[in-house]
Structure 1
Amino acid sequence: MQIQIDESRCISAGSCVMAGPDVYDQRDEDGVVVVLDHDPQGVESRRQAREGAAVCPARVITIINDES
């Protein structure tokens, strides 16, 4: 699994962080999403990564090679 973010489209809603606090965070200065783990390995981290992408209102999170 690989996580990619389009920072230029992020609206700083924080939905991804609420759904996936082990995988996502936000920059202090503008609230734009930051990926803490671009290749999560654990079952729970992978679940959080997928959930965070699913709830993003701007659809800026892309999950690649999700083989779980």
Structure 2
Amino acid sequence: MVTEPVRQQLVGGAEVLLGLVLVAEELWCNQPEADSDQAAGTMSEMILHMLGLSPDEARDLARRPLPAAA
């Protein structure tokens, strides 16, 4: 069973992630000339930092190229 404080943290985390997705959608819809790769990297960095990585670790991980598909 999930305790109330843990449930609140999970809900809060989900709300933040949803907010970031809405910000990205807003950017891509209203500013199509914006650099989508840069915006995706910045969003990824923010999410990773929110999930507990240090700012430097989040930046490094978000800027790495994606692995090749298998």
TM-score normalized with structure 1 length:
0.25
Q: Which has the higher strand share?
A: 1
TM-score normalized with structure 2 length:
0.25
Q: Which has the higher contact order (CA 8 A, sep 6+)?
A: 1
Q: Which has the higher helix share?
A: 2
Higher-Rg member (1/2): 2
